[in-house]
Amino acid sequence: MPLFIVHHQHSPETCPARDPAKGAMLLNHLSRPSAARHGVVIKGEAVVRGSHSLFFIAEAADETVLQAFLTPFRQAGEVEVMAASTCAGVVASGGCDARPAEVSAAFLDPADACQDAVEAGLLVHRVYPLNGETSVQDLAGGAVVPNGRFYLRNHFDIPNLDGESYRLSVGGLVERSLSLSMRDLHNLHAESLVVTLECAGNGRSLFGPAVPGEAWGLGAVSTAEWTGVPLIEVIERAGLRPGATELTFRGADGGLVEGHDAPIRFERGLSFDQIREAGALLAYEMNGEQLSSPHGYPLRLIVPGWYAVASVKWLTEIVVTDKPCEAHYQTEKYWYQWVRNGGDERAPVTLMSVRALISSPDQGESLPRGETAIRGVAWSGAGSISRVDVSLNDGPWREARLVGERRRSAWQWWELMTRLEQTGPLAVRARATDMAGRTQPERAEWNRLGYGNNSIHCVTAQVI
């Protein structure tokens, strides 16, 4: 709803607060339940001390509705109503003096989506498309990351799909084309998987020299419990025709991208063998709740072990073919591009690299001498974590204790109990090794698009 700032001013001689009855009447009128009955939402109010001025922020369908609500305040003094915007709305529209863009009902309002992300505690990098990361301290401590704090990566506007009319189509080289409603999907066998998703660009800002793309820190990763239908069951219902080896997954999001004259849809492809090995899921719930629009409502693909670009949100179409997908985000983006031995080499972004993050201590934290715990999370796309090693002030590597059961598809908590005997600077480093034998490098190899930065994480603190 439109946002307004209301300024009420009265003279000292007619201050309604000096009359207990008038003061109580205005106070009751301004209450949230009273405002709601008038079609107004009060976001906050305050009186400037000694000035006989009241300011409050309100939402209403239009100014006429708000003006009707303000009748008691006009009777007590003067009222000024100013059209307003949230800070997120100003950034989304491109400046304080820019007019808010018209938002199609087919998409979420970027300002509203951004405001929700900010209030949930995400570090927002960009309003359009909305991209925000989780703080490293929020990553550890619970089995999963709360939905509101789960990082967001988008390439286009966020679709606002209607779950009642939604259909998932499955076509191409299949024996039976399918058009599945959400009710159809809910009636199929359901499974729940705890899966860590990581943006391939996580850690991009730590590469040097700098590379183009979203300047992620280390929080473009989160874990959730996803519930839905095993993808393989839907494909088997459709039946594969001879020669069918590849699947293209098409989302409802799309738009213009550099190098293309016409709008494109977001598409990614995987082979039939890859989705079977990964145990891919068509998810409609996240941490026991219905998917939210920013996370792919009403249906998204979850591909355990793979960088999250494979887990297509707002999934509307699955096309079975005999050729690999050649879409923009398959062939032009999400490739490692290295310069090696004077020549160019490239390889597709696939499984997540092995990585450990330190969640405690925090960067710059002051720690007392004595017993302390070094904690964090570690994960890999190639297998579960076999060990995490920690080094203090470039000392020898010490093996941390792995906490909880090992899961191939989800991160592993770890901790190292140690004693800090001397005051002064403390540098904590952590590296992970997975069951496939992969260990984090001291520094990940630089690549042109800044993918897969799994350099050893280091946090500096102070022992006092």
Q: Which tokens hold the place of 171?
A: 């076509």
- Are 224 and 328 within one domain? yes
pLDDT, tens only, 237-283: 999 999 999 999 999 999 999 999 999 999 999 999 999 999 999 99
Q: Return the bridge partners of 265, or none.
A: 254
**pLDDT confidence of residue 383:** 95
Q: Which residue range forms the structural domain that includes residue 209? A: 131-333
Residue 281 and residue 427 in one domain:
no
Average pLDDT estimate for 192-202: 98
Q: Is 76 helix (H, G, I), strand (E, B) or coil?
A: helix
> Do 139 and 219 touch, CB atoms closer than 8 A?
yes
Q: What is the DSSP string of 176-213?
A: S-EEE-HHHHHTS--EEEEEEEE-TTTTGGGSSS--SS
pTM: 0.91
| 109 assigned to some structural domain | no
CA 19, chain centre distance (Å): 51
Q: What CA–CA distance (Å, rounded) separates 139 from 145?
A: 6
pLDDT of residue 294: 97
The domain boundary, picked from 271, 300, 333, lies at 333
What is the pLDDT of the chain when averaged over all its residues?
Answer: 95
Would you call 271 helix, strand, or coil by DSSP?
strand
pLDDT tier, 68 (very low <50, low <70, confident <90, very high otherwise): very high
Q: Which of 24, 55, 84 is the last residue of a domain?
A: 84
Cis peptide, bond prior to residue 209, ω within 30 of zero: yes
| Average pLDDT estimate for 209-226 | 97
CB 139 within 8 A of CB 222: yes
Q: Which two tokens stand for residue 355?
A: 């990585």
pLDDT at 101 over 80: no
Bridge partners of residue 45, in order along the sequence: 56
Q: How far apart are the C-alpha atoms of 326 and 247, rounded to whole Å? A: 11
For residue 46, the model assigns a pLDDT of: 96
One domain for residues 409 and 446: yes
Going by the DSSP 8-state scheme, the letter that residue 241 receives in this structure is: P
Domain end call among 276, 301, 333? 333
For residue 105, the model assigns a pLDDT of: 87
DSSP letters along 126-191, please? ETTTTEEE--HHHHSSSSS--GGGS-B--SS--B---TTT--EEEEESBSS-EEE-HHHHHTS--E
CATH code for position 425: 2.60.40.650
Asked if the model's pLDDT at residue 195 lies above 90, the reply is yes
The dihedrals phi and psi of 157, each to the nearest 5 degrees, come to: -55, 155
326: how many CB neighbours lie within 10 A of its CB? 12
Share of the chain above pLDDT 70, in %: 99
- Domain count along the chain: 3
Model pLDDT for residues 136-181, shown as the tens digit of each residue = 988 876 789 999 999 999 999 999 999 999 999 999 999 999 999 9
Residue 91 lies in a domain: no
Q: 10 Å Cβ neighbour count for 18?
A: 10
- Give the domain CATH number at 44: 3.30.70.1060
Q: Per-residue pLDDT averaged across 379-400, rounded?
A: 97
